[in-house]
Amino acid sequence: MKTRQVGDKESLFHFWGRYLQKVATGLVSLLSGMGVTIRYFVSPDKIITQQYPENRENLQMMARFRGHLAMIHDENNQHRCTGCGICEKACPNGTISVLTAKDLAGRKVLGRYIYRLSQCTLCNLCIESCPFGAISMGRDFELATYDRQQLTFILNKTQGGK
Amino acid sequence: MELQPVDNLPEGFTRGLNSDETSEEYFLNMGPQHPSTHGVLRLVLKLDGENVLEVVPHLGYVHRGIEKLAESQTYLQNIHLTDRLDYLSSHFNNLGYCLAMEQALDIGVPERGEYIRVMVCELQRIQSHLLWWGVTGMDLGAISTFLYGFKEREMITDIFEEICGARLTMNFFRPGGSFADVPDTFIPRVKKVIERMHVALDEYNTLLTDNIIFRERTRAIGILSREKALSYGCSGGVLRASGVSYDVRRNDPYSIYDRFDFGIPVGSVGGCFDRYRMKMEEMPQSLRILEQAVKDFPEGPYRSKEQSAYRLPQGSYYSQVETARGLLGTYIVAEGGAKPYRVKFRSPSFSNLSTLCEMAVGHKIADLVTILATLDFVVPDIDR
Ligand code: SF4
Ligand code: SF4
């Protein structure tokens, strides 16, 4: 063990002087810190805490918030997806499967758009890659479930597209 | 002094325990689930009572194989992997990767794009330092600093959420700019942050910097000499605290950092308090950059021509950026296809952590926590 070098012995008077001074400066530093706390305590207008989940009703999410993937549907429940599969290729995680079908005229259309939230990293790459602007990110963030099965979605409501 | 046989020692140790009757030496496991190791880092300590004799960090608990994974994904997809290196510096990581790609493909960035990059990066530097400041206080027993730090941090996180939709894994920058332009509310929000931060920094100093308990616990603890800091390859605040004035933004300017006027704080002793001071003084400097950028924020395009796929020509490309923790190097070896042949990241946290044993020996366990806190590493950045 290292031992401290002791120099000339300090007089008792000096020792106590130093000691008391340290106590005083220490006390001042603690009190000034406490002052900040008290200032916040007595000014309720500075409260920024949000009461979640009580404020669920009027919670505003940012316009670009990246929640889960969603397909944009118009008022007639029509979507713009052509089933081209570009988003499937752009996805780094194999989250999307675009299953195509044939419509009555024999043209290739979207059959089912399968999205697995459990594998999604919410990276936005699929949306950037879609040439038709058919998909977007949802605003929801409470996405936890008890069962993994519930994390697979079919995003299109109707077969085909425009 | 009798030493135990060397063969049944914990991994990484070279010398056994002192088997003297009176000796109190033993091994202790700290982590991987320890609050002050900031993630899943495991430290094996050799202690004599409460005194640290040797520290061996064990890594790999969050190894996700990002460098290997990058080989099987396209360049564009790789950018979102870099978010997950140092999750508090995801904009810097994105930027590092984009700079290497831009260098390979000779892509330029429009003026507005450059300004967005610099501003977003400086905001993130402050954001990361605020979180660090909060947890440093908490590690030393001052829980309230955590809440104070998060108060201002939330303003910056909101800006990020507004411009890119994410709060942590941003994936915002793309070769030639960023994936979206900033909304009109961006500049007013930044102005508000600058205004608020000037007041908040004073509060932080009153709360923690001038606090006697904090001062006494960081004074003359964990000294890292200039030579040691250099030979371990430290960077960022750890290196500057030891008296070396090196900052990538100044010494090897990327983006448009050479246009801004800002200072690089440099320490003298290299102890815990110096490392703390570095971060606290970096924040006003980042605010200075932000103030200048807000003043000249130009109109115009935010991204040069977008491509749906990028193919890097054969060769190797290197870029380096100064993250909130130090120098992040991105090295890409391309073979001409759509996917890289090999990607290597040189992360600042790894080199900074390797100095731990050097600093901790001779101190108490409680001081080891102080040293860990001021080293400011992010474990996923070490493991990758
Ligand atoms: S957000 Fe990313 S991970 Fe999720 S589906 Fe789109 S591309 Fe795939
Ligand atoms: S969402 Fe877009 S990219 Fe994906 S299959 Fe449909 S049209 Fe193609």
Does A40 reside within a domain? yes
Answer yes or no: do A104 and A139 share one domain.
yes
Answer yes or no: do A109 and A150 share one domain.
yes
Residues A78 and A162 sit within 8 Å (Cβ to Cβ)? yes
Ligand of minimum distance to the alpha carbon of B74: 1
For B53, name the nearest residue in chain A, comparing CA atoms only. Answer: A1
Predicted confidence at residue B4, as pLDDT, reads: 53
Answer yes or no: do A27 and A79 share one domain.
no
Numbers of helices and strands, H then E, in chain A:
3, 5
Q: What is the mean pLDDT of chain A?
A: 83
Residue A77 has pLDDT above 50, yes or no: yes
Q: Does A70 touch chain B (CB under 8 A)?
A: no
- Nearest CA residue ID for atom 8, ligand 1: A91
Domain count for chain A, please give it. 2
Does A127 reside within a domain? yes
CATH number of the domain residue A136 falls in: 3.30.70.3270
Q: Is A98 in the pocket of ligand 2 (CB under 6 A)?
A: yes
Answer yes or no: do A94 and A150 share one domain.
yes
Does A57 reside within a domain? no
Q: Is B59 helix (H, G, I), strand (E, B) or coil?
A: coil
Reply yes or no: is the peptide bond before residue A53 cis, omega within 30 of 0.
yes
Does A62 reside within a domain? no
Ranges of each domain in chain B: 6-58, 66-372
| Residue with more model confidence, B13 or A134 | A134
Does A103 reside within a domain? yes
Average pLDDT over residues A76-87: 85
B66-372 adopts what CATH topology?
Cytochrome-c3 Hydrogenase; chain B (1.10.645)
List the one residue out of A1, A119, A121, A34 whose CA is nearest residue B208: A34
Average pLDDT over residues A19-24: 89
Whole-Å CA distances, B19 to B9, B11, B16, B23, B41: 13, 19, 9, 7, 29
- Nearest CA residue ID for atom 3, ligand 2: A130
Range of the domain at A98: 69-154
Residues 6+ apart with CB under 8 A from B151: A48, B200
- Cβ < 6 A, ligand 1 pocket: A 69, 90-93, 95-96, 120-126
Answer yes or no: do A96 and A150 share one domain.
yes
Residue A162 has pLDDT above 90, yes or no: no
Answer yes or no: do A28 and A82 share one domain.
no
Average pLDDT over residues A92-117: 86
Does A58 reside within a domain? no
Answer yes or no: do A89 and A23 share one domain.
no
Residues 6+ apart with CB under 8 A from A79: A71, A72, A73, A110, A134, A156, A157, A158, A161, A162
Predicted confidence at residue A3, as pLDDT, reads: 52
Q: How far is CA B20 from the centre of its chain?
A: 43
Q: How many residues does chain A have?
A: 162
Question: Which mean pLDDT values do the consecutive 10-residue runs of chain B (384 residues) have?
Answer: 59 72 79 76 85 86 88 90 88 92 88 90 92 89 85 90 88 88 89 90 86 84 87 89 88 87 87 89 91 89 83 89 90 89 90 87 87 87 85
Does A91 reside within a domain? yes
Predicted confidence at residue A138, as pLDDT, reads: 85
Residue B226 structure tokens: 């200039």
Does A102 reside within a domain? yes
Ligand 2 centroid to residue A130 C-alpha, Å: 5
Test B77 with A62 for CB contact under 8 angstroms: no
Residue B318: CB atoms within 10 A of its CB come to: 15
ipTM for the complex shown = 0.80
Residue A1 has pLDDT above 70, yes or no: no
Predicted confidence at residue B130, as pLDDT, reads: 92
Residues B56 and B27 sit within 8 Å (Cβ to Cβ)? no
Predicted confidence at residue B7, as pLDDT, reads: 60
